[in-house]
């Protein structure tokens, strides 16, 4: 019989926090790491970008579908995507975790490790956080970013006539989630890639960075393509028309849609958790590497598809049914 | 019959976030406020201090004991205290809130208002955050701070012979909590001040700021005096001896202790949530205004009281029984 795993309550808050921060190396931007009342992070050009997201067990992840390490990596990805969408690079994170007292300490360690290793890949440090008792596992991440002297890429910069383009997978996470929900034998169908995309999104950070000089507006696709294009429209005071023929689902999405008897466009138009990026570019400029044209900025308001107002698909809202 | 209050689910995530951020004015340090993928905050000397805390309903607050506005003010206070303890001033906050779908929107609005008004009093802006669905109300705050070109005051700077001093209430929040737990008629006993101190701590920010030039080490008392002095000892590689005669409880704490039949020193030594500050100063320097001497830094390790090792009172840990 294997020994009962030690719990967070048995080890104690300070010890668990110590385990989470001890093994990580800090980048040069971490001027003072964890262990004092606050950390101190370099903000080389006198500005710091900041964004936060909270993930809740049962709502944003399930431990029977994702490992704790995958949950950590996902939390990092969705936060980092917000920073890249501003044209900035992540420098540091603070991570607060709530969990029940009987949570095995290995679970918290693995969430921390997932966040830490993914942060390290991006050159960012985990510089602080909190660990508290709660009924559900809650992972709250705040990420800081450095604009490197450049201008931020806002949602409000889209101009009429601009090209609308995307980079990264669309609908893949939503398709993976649908396969998990349906209990589909996705492995046998060769659809592991979609489930992996749901467990750990892989935002195309390099492509977002490549767009930061030329994009007139940019956002990450976190609420669904139509919803996030709608945010660009509202902030910029324009309309966006999407050419549906330019949004070709991948082969595996088509296979998954057929398997589940659904329309793959629903995933592509409203699935948010891939953390792809959408941006607009001046008509005459070449698109950066990795970007695909999907439409055009027009006069007016709201998003249309092939000239008709997009209906439904308000995208992910935390409290939608 | 009054109408049923509208819930967060009925109004929707984006609308609630919009309500929380629309009415607040932003300080000059907020270069880009809420509404884009990330906010941008000034970091005037090229560095940013950052700290985070998470508060959980039923663990850190109860809505039958504290109003939502008080919960918000408390969340702000405990985060701001960490920044002042570094010798920095808060510039910006991001606030992530989790709550059940049937939470009245007024509750979330009031938490946000409490955070926002307390932030405004300190000249800090609420620049972003998240709102998600969870079983309990969870308030996760990250605060950014500006060192204004000065050196941070670390926990590790205490030197042998330094004077140990505190500023702010000690044990008042713990006494207030004990009165609430006991169901005591604290109003009739003239002890409202202790309960108020539990609901909304009032850290002595000005005194902490006054110490930032001369303190050799500083921390906020968030885990309890003995525990937090222990953190200073461990970080500085020294021992601290507290003279108990210098720790006189206030009259109301004595009254509360007599009412409940307990030893008031337990509250003073181990009560953390007042967010008082403890610091060390060179022997020859005058203490800044608002600070009271309580002991001396010695060779050795750990905290002693009147020369005897302090026992018990490890202070607040999130997972302690």
Residues contacting A235, CB < 8 A, separation 6+ = A154, A155, A156, A158, A217, B35, B36
CB contact under 8 A, A50 and B142: yes
Mean pLDDT, all residues of chain A: 92
Angstrom distance (rounded) from CA B58 to CA A31: 36
Separation of CA A45 from chain center: 25
> In chain B, what is the straight-line distance between the N-terminal and C-terminal CA atoms, in Å?
43
CB contact under 8 A, A52 and B129: yes
pLDDT beyond 80 at A13:
no
Please indicate, yes or no, whether residues B88 and B128 belong to a single structural domain of this protein. yes
* pLDDT, tens digit (0-9, with 9 covering 90-100), for A17-73: 767 666 678 999 999 999 999 999 999 999 999 999 999 999 999 999 999 999 999
pLDDT of residue B283: 93
Please indicate, yes or no, whether residues B172 and B118 belong to a single structural domain of this protein. no
User: What CA–CA distances, in Å, run from B105 to B67, B110, B111, B120, B267?
Assistant: 14, 9, 10, 22, 36
**Helices A172-182 and A251-260: crossing angle, nearest 10°?**
30
Instruction: Tell me if B315 is assigned to some domain.
Output: no
Please indicate, yes or no, whether residues A183 and A54 belong to a single structural domain of this protein. no
User: What CA–CA distances, in Å, run from A240 to A236, A278, A280?
Assistant: 10, 12, 10
CB contact under 8 A, A54 and B86: no
Q: Rounded to the nearest 5 degrees, what angle is found at the Cα of A240, between the Cα atoms of A238 and A245? A: 170
A307 touches chain B (CB under 8 A): no
Q: Which contacts of B177-181 are long-range, i.e. CB under 8 A and separated by 24 or more positions?
A: B177/B273, B178/B256, B178/B260, B178/B262, B178/B267, B179/B256, B179/B259, B179/B260, B180/B65
pLDDT beyond 60 at B100:
yes
Separation of CA B70 from chain center: 13
Q: Rounded to the nearest 5 degrees, what angle is found at the Cα of B287, between the Cα atoms of B212 and B92? A: 25
* pLDDT, tens digit (0-9, with 9 covering 90-100), for A205-249: 999 999 999 999 999 999 999 999 999 999 999 999 999 999 987
* pLDDT, tens digit (0-9, with 9 covering 90-100), for A70-109: 999 999 999 999 999 999 999 999 999 999 999 999 999 9
The full DSSP string for A170-215 is SSHHHHHHHHHHHT--TTTTT-HHHHHHHHS----HHHHHHHTTTE
> In chain A, what is the straight-line distance between the N-terminal and C-terminal CA atoms, in Å?
43
Tokens standing for A2? 């294997």
pLDDT of residue A254: 94
Count Cα neighbours of A233 within 13 Å in the Cβ-side half-sphere: 23
Q: How many domains are contained in chain A?
A: 2
Nearest to A253 by CA among A166, A186, A183, A208: A186
User: What CA–CA distances, in Å, run from B249 to A19, A294, B178, B220, B225?
Assistant: 37, 69, 16, 19, 13
Instruction: Tell me if A139 is assigned to some domain.
Output: yes
Tokens standing for A124? 């960012």
Instruction: Tell me if A206 is assigned to some domain.
Output: yes
pLDDT beyond 90 at A2:
no
What single-letter DSSP state applies at residue A32? E
Please indicate, yes or no, whether residues A48 and A101 belong to a single structural domain of this protein. yes
Mean pLDDT check: name the lowest of A150-159, B20-29, B256-265: B20-29
pLDDT of residue A21: 65
Please indicate, yes or no, whether residues A302 and A173 belong to a single structural domain of this protein. yes
Which residue range is the domain that position A137 belongs to? 8-146
Q: Looking at A121, A146, A171, which one is the last position of a domain? A: A146
Instruction: Tell me if A17 is assigned to some domain.
Output: yes
Angstrom distance (rounded) from CA B305 to CA B303: 7
Average pLDDT over residues B293-310: 95
Please indicate, yes or no, whether residues B131 and B174 belong to a single structural domain of this protein. no
Average pLDDT over residues B141-163: 97
Instruction: Tell me if B94 is assigned to some domain.
Output: yes
Nearest to A47 among B43, B50, B152 (CB): B43
Confidence of residue B51 (pLDDT cuts 50, 70, 90): very high
Q: Looking at B146, B164, B191, which one is the last position of a domain? A: B146
Nearest chain A residue (CA) to B93: A50
Give the gap in angstroms from C-alpha A38 to the nearest C-alpha of chain B: 5
Please indicate, yes or no, whether residues A109 and A167 belong to a single structural domain of this protein. no
pLDDT of residue A273: 87
For tokens 């950590």, what's the residue?
A: A72
* pLDDT, tens digit (0-9, with 9 covering 90-100), for A126-153: 999 899 999 999 999 999 999 999 999 9
Contacts of A134 in chain B (CB under 8 A): 56, 59, 136, 138
Please indicate, yes or no, whether residues B132 and B170 belong to a single structural domain of this protein. no
Number of Cβ within 10 Å of residue A282's Cβ equals 12
Q: What is the CATH number of the domain that holds B288?
A: 3.90.650.10
Nearest to B80 by CA among B116, B31, B44: B116
Number of Cβ within 10 Å of residue B124's Cβ equals 29
Q: Looking at B106, B121, B146, which one is the last position of a domain? A: B146
SS3 B96: strand
pLDDT beyond 60 at A315:
no
Q: Which residues pair with B217 in a beta bridge?
A: B280
Instruction: Tell me if A168 is assigned to some domain.
Output: yes
CB contact under 8 A, B46 and A43: yes
Tokens standing for A297? 């900025």
Nearest to B177 by CA among B146, B162, B198: B198
H helix or E strand, kind and range, residue A99: strand A89-99
Angstrom distance (rounded) from CA B209 to CA B84: 6
Please indicate, yes or no, whether residues B283 and B196 belong to a single structural domain of this protein. yes
Q: For an interface test with B, which of A140, A208, A234, A273 has the most B Cβ atoms less than 10 Å from its Cβ?
A: A140
User: What CA–CA distances, in Å, run from B46 to A40, A52, A150, B155?
Assistant: 10, 21, 15, 22
pLDDT of residue B273: 87
| Strand B39-42 relative to strand B308-309, pairing | unpaired
Q: For an interface test with B, which of A35, A85, A318 has the most B Cβ atoms less than 10 Å from its Cβ?
A: A318
Please indicate, yes or no, whether residues B136 and B27 belong to a single structural domain of this protein. yes
Please indicate, yes or no, whether residues A176 and A239 belong to a single structural domain of this protein. yes
CB contact under 8 A, A13 and B44: no
- Following CA atoms B248, B250, B256, B260 in sequence, which dihedral angle do they give, to the nearest 10 degrees? 0
Average pLDDT over residues B295-301: 97
Instruction: Tell me if A72 is assigned to some domain.
Output: yes
Q: How many CB pairs under 8 A join A and B?
A: 233
Q: What is the pTM of this model?
A: 0.93
Tokens standing for B16? 């609630």
Residues contacting A202, CB < 8 A, separation 6+ = A77, A168, A169
> Which of A:217-276 have CB within 8 Å of B?
218-220, 235
Please indicate, yes or no, whether residues B53 and B78 belong to a single structural domain of this protein. yes
Contacts of B31 in chain A (CB under 8 A): 47
pLDDT of residue A180: 94
Mean pLDDT, all residues of chain B: 92
pLDDT of residue B319: 56
Q: Let me know how long chain B is.
A: 321
Angstrom distance (rounded) from CA B234 to CA B221: 15
Nearest to A92 by CA among A128, A59, A65, A117: A128
Q: What percent of chain A has pLDDT over 70?
A: 93
Is the Cβ–Cβ distance between A224 and A247 less than 8 Å? Answer: no
Contacts of B86 in chain A (CB under 8 A): 36-38, 40
What single-letter DSSP state applies at residue B7? B
Instruction: Tell me if B318 is assigned to some domain.
Output: no
* Side-by-side strand order, sheet with B39-42: A125-133, A89-99, A138-146, A47-56, B39-42, B30-32
CB contact under 8 A, B38 and A88: yes
Q: Which residues pair with B56 in a beta bridge?
A: B138
A152 touches chain B (CB under 8 A): yes
Tokens standing for B82? 């960490």
pLDDT of residue A4: 78
CB contact under 8 A, B132 and A47: no
Nearest to B98 among A14, A54, A155 (CB): A54
């Amino acid at each position: 019989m294997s020994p009962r795993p030690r719990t967070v309550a048995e080890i104690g808050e300070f010890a668990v926090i110590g385990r989470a921060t001890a093994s990580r190396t800090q980048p040069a931007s971490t001027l003072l790491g964890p262990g004092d009342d606050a950390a101190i992070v370099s903000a080389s050009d006198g500005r710091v970008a900041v964004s936060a997201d909270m993930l809740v067990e049962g709502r944003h992840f399930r431990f029977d579908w994702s490992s704790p390490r995958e949950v950590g990596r996902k939390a990092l990805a969705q936060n980092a995507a917000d920073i890249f969408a501003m044209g900035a690079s992540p420098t540091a994170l603070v991570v607060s975790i709530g969990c029940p007292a009987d949570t095995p300490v290995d679970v918290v360690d693995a969430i921390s490790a997932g966040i830490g290793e993914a942060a390290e890949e991006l050159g960012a440090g985990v510089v602080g956080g909190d660990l508290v008792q709660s009924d559900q596992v809650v992972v709250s991440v705040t990420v800081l970013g450095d604009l490197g002297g450049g201008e931020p890429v806002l949602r409000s910069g889209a101009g009429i006539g601009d090209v609308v383009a995307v980079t990264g997978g669309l609908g893949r996470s939503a398709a993976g989630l649908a396969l998990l929900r349906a209990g589909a034998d996705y492995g046998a169908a060769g659809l592991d890639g979609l489930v992996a995309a749901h467990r750990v999104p892989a935002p195309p950070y390099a492509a977002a960075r490549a767009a930061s000089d030329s994009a007139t507006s940019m956002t990450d696709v976190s609420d669904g393509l139509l919803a996030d294009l709608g945010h660009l429209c509202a902030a910029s005071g324009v309309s966006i028309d999407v050419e549906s023929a330019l949004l070709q689902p991948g082969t595996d999405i088509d296979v998954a849609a057929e398997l589940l008897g659904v329309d793959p466009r629903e995933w592509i138009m409203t699935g948010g958790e891939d953390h792809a990026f959408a941006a607009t570019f001046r008509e005459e400029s070449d698109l950066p590497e990795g970007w695909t044209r999907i439409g055009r900025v027009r006069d007016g308001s709201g998003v249309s598809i092939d000239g008709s107002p997009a209906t439904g698909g308000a995208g992910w809202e935390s409290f939608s049914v």
